[in-house]
Chains A and B, each alone.
Chain A
Amino acid sequence: MSTNSAINVDKLNVSFGDSHVVKDLSFAVEPGESYGVVGESGSGKSTVLRVLAGLNRDWSGEVDILGKRQPKIRDKAFYRAVQMVFQDPYGSLHPKKTVDDTLAEPLAIHGIRDAEAKISRAMQDVGLPTSFRFRYPHQLSGGQRQRVAIARALVLEPTILLLDEPTSALDVSIQAEVLNLLQALRHERKLTYILVSHDLAVVGHMCERLLVMQFGRGVEEMTATTLAARAPQTAYAQQLLTASEGFRRAG
């Protein structure tokens, strides 16, 4: 194990009752790296992210984040350093809270002063006009909501962002805007990303390395270059790659 990894996962196992959903999974993510996790539904990719975020407490194995062994129940300092953006911007924002409420809450929890300036700054960073500050989620489009969700994650100035299918609920033109925003923020702030997605093109665009999962196991870890060269080693990764290229009529 390299001691300076941002995230190091060793022999992670997760079970829900009788179903063993993550099996002996190990991987490491370097600081400033963007690491992709791909797989089909039920492969365990989102579960891994939820364990890293501290949302799932029933797991065994070792998880080190920013050089610290993580207990099942995380402390406040952890949440300042690690934040998550969820898939569905229609479900992840409180419908009765304005953008301002949503962004002020994490600051209040962590006792951070100067909320006023921090909120305007966070909104500016994600490209939301300040006039949107007192709007409710239903007054925003899908892309704007996802920007609010990203702003909520960034307002605490974390070093690691966990992204669970951040653009799969969005139209392609909006997806491009959100992906560009995430790329720019990462370079600006030297953030570390773990991006979970079923879309290989998105992962190839955003990440340097990726892990292919199937039935709870890591099938293959490869670089984005290997992915672009269509040269994965395992049959499953190859199959996934072929399937993502569209329909082929035989004969």
Chain B
Amino acid sequence: MSDQALLTLDDLRVDFHTPTGIVNAVRGLSFTLGRERLGIVGESGSGKSMTGRAILDLIPHPGVVTAKRMGFRGQNLTTMDKRARRKLRGRHISMVMQDPKFSLNPVQTVGDQIAEAYRVHHRASAREAKERSLSMLEAVQIREPARVYDLYPHEVSGGMGQRVMIAMMLIAEPEILIADEPTSALDVTVQLQVLKILDDLVTSRGMGLIFISHDLHLVKSFCDRVIVMYGGKAMETLPASELDKAQHPYTRGLLGCLPDLDHPREKLATLNRDPAWLA
């Protein structure tokens, strides 16, 4: 397997078998991830979060994941058992969730949570884990790591909570980081600080990043490559810098309905969805 591709997905499908019928959340998605920042954008229900979860084997019952191939560094994830998948999770492929308020354990200090994440994946003494956690807190630019280590999640701000989450996910030094709307719950100025940290760490460690977002402007400015999803399918894949020149009517439609300070219009364009896109 070439060094370039960290992850290969071929014909990924996620189906939910509900009493009222089968819901196809992801319908035949294929892509390759290298050491790059890959953005997945789409509206709610487009299957972007389900794609991230499927890679980590985190689809809840009654969801079923199938794929012709899900390759991670020469291993095929589809044929692996649950135990082997669990070993990869957090250690090699990791995920930052949207809202630190709901994703951190409220009754454990943030420092202990980071140290725990390290000890789950590496044989280390409590003391070593603590030292590593402190330096990780420093790496995500928390000013007084020793003080913050002993704080509980309710004692930290949203931006700090999200940095704690990033520290926790990166401490095991995974090869792939999946970030599902990592900054949507944050204010714009804080959002940029968090993205900067994420960007520096991902670049300096040579990781592959899958950045899931609904924010087209953000993805355009942050990622290298973008997959635009709608109804569980990839509408198009293009370099982020060329998002403005997108060809697909769905991408064009999405861009068209954003209010733009430079091009004031009396009426915003609305999106006409074409059933043929899902055919």
Q: Report which A residues bind B (CB closer than 8 A).
A: 40-41, 142, 171-173, 175-177, 179-180, 183, 198-202, 204-206, 224, 227-228, 230, 239-240, 243-249
Within 8 A of A (CB), among B254-279: 254, 257-262, 264-271
Number of interface residues of B (CB under 8 A): 35
CA distance A175 to B268 in the complex (A): 9
14 example contacts (A-B, Cβ-Cβ < 8 A) are as follows A172-B214, A173-B254, A173-B270, A176-B271, A177-B270, A205-B264, A205-B268, A228-B262, A244-B188, A247-B195, A247-B199, A247-B221, A247-B222, A249-B199
* Residue contact A245 to B270, C-beta cutoff 8 Å: no
* Residue contact A171 to B270, C-beta cutoff 8 Å: no
CA distance A171 to B110 in the complex (A): 33
CB nearest neighbor in B for A42? B187
Q: Which of B192, B268, B269, B271 has the most CB of A within 10 A?
A: B268
* Residue contact B217 to A171, C-beta cutoff 8 Å: no
* Residue contact A171 to B218, C-beta cutoff 8 Å: no
Interface residue from B195, B259, B270 paired with A204 (Cβ < 8 Å)? B259
* Residue contact A172 to B257, C-beta cutoff 8 Å: yes
B262 to chain A: which residues have CB within 8 Å?
228
CB nearest neighbor in B for A167? B259
CA distance A230 to B261 in the complex (A): 9
A240 to chain B: which residues have CB within 8 Å?
188-189
> Known contacts A172-B214, A205-B264, A247-B221; can you find 7 more A-B pairs with CB under 8 A?
A171-B44, A172-B43, A172-B258, A173-B271, A179-B268, A204-B259, A246-B220
Majority-rule SS of A interface residues: helix
* Residue contact A176 to B257, C-beta cutoff 8 Å: yes
Interface residue from A180, A200, A244 paired with B267 (Cβ < 8 Å)? A180
Within the complex, the shortest CB–CB distance from B201 to chain A, in Å, comes to 14
CB nearest neighbor in A for B259? A205
Interface residue from A173, A175, A243 paired with B192 (Cβ < 8 Å)? A243
* Residue contact B269 to A176, C-beta cutoff 8 Å: yes
* Residue contact A173 to B261, C-beta cutoff 8 Å: no
A-B pairs with lowest CB-CB distance, top 4: A246-B221, A176-B257, A205-B259, A173-B271
Within the complex, the shortest CB–CB distance from A113 to chain B, in Å, comes to 35
CA distance A153 to B261 in the complex (A): 28
CA distance A171 to B262 in the complex (A): 21
Within the complex, the shortest CB–CB distance from A44 to chain B, in Å, comes to 14
* Residue contact B267 to A204, C-beta cutoff 8 Å: no
Within the complex, the shortest CB–CB distance from A68 to chain B, in Å, comes to 33
A244 to chain B: which residues have CB within 8 Å?
188
CA distance A193 to B216 in the complex (A): 28
Q: Does B237 contact A (CB under 8 A)?
A: no
* Residue contact A180 to B222, C-beta cutoff 8 Å: no
* Residue contact B189 to A171, C-beta cutoff 8 Å: no
* Residue contact B188 to A40, C-beta cutoff 8 Å: yes
CB nearest neighbor in B for A224? B264
* Residue contact B253 to A173, C-beta cutoff 8 Å: yes
Q: Does B191 contact A (CB under 8 A)?
A: yes
CB nearest neighbor in A for B45? A171
Within 8 A of A (CB), among B182-211: 187-192, 195-196, 199
* Residue contact B218 to A247, C-beta cutoff 8 Å: yes
Within the complex, the shortest CB–CB distance from B222 to chain A, in Å, comes to 4
* Residue contact A176 to B43, C-beta cutoff 8 Å: no
Interface residue from A175, A206, A227, A245 paired with B257 (Cβ < 8 Å)? A175
Interface residue from A199, A239, A246 paired with B222 (Cβ < 8 Å)? A246
B189 to chain A: which residues have CB within 8 Å?
40, 239-240, 243
CB nearest neighbor in B for A249? B199
* Residue contact B267 to A183, C-beta cutoff 8 Å: yes
Within the complex, the shortest CB–CB distance from A109 to chain B, in Å, comes to 34
* Residue contact A228 to B261, C-beta cutoff 8 Å: yes
CA distance A201 to B43 in the complex (A): 19
Within the complex, the shortest CB–CB distance from B204 to chain A, in Å, comes to 13
B195 to chain A: which residues have CB within 8 Å?
247
CB nearest neighbor in B for A206? B259
Annotate B151-167 by CB proximity to A: 1 below 8 A, 0 otherwise. Answer: 00000001000000000
CA distance A227 to B261 in the complex (A): 8
CB nearest neighbor in A for B221? A246
Within the complex, the shortest CB–CB distance from B212 to chain A, in Å, comes to 15
A206 to chain B: which residues have CB within 8 Å?
259
CB nearest neighbor in B for A239? B189
Within the complex, the shortest CB–CB distance from B162 to chain A, in Å, comes to 14
Interface residue from A171, A177, A201, A243 paired with B261 (Cβ < 8 Å)? A201
* Residue contact A246 to B270, C-beta cutoff 8 Å: no
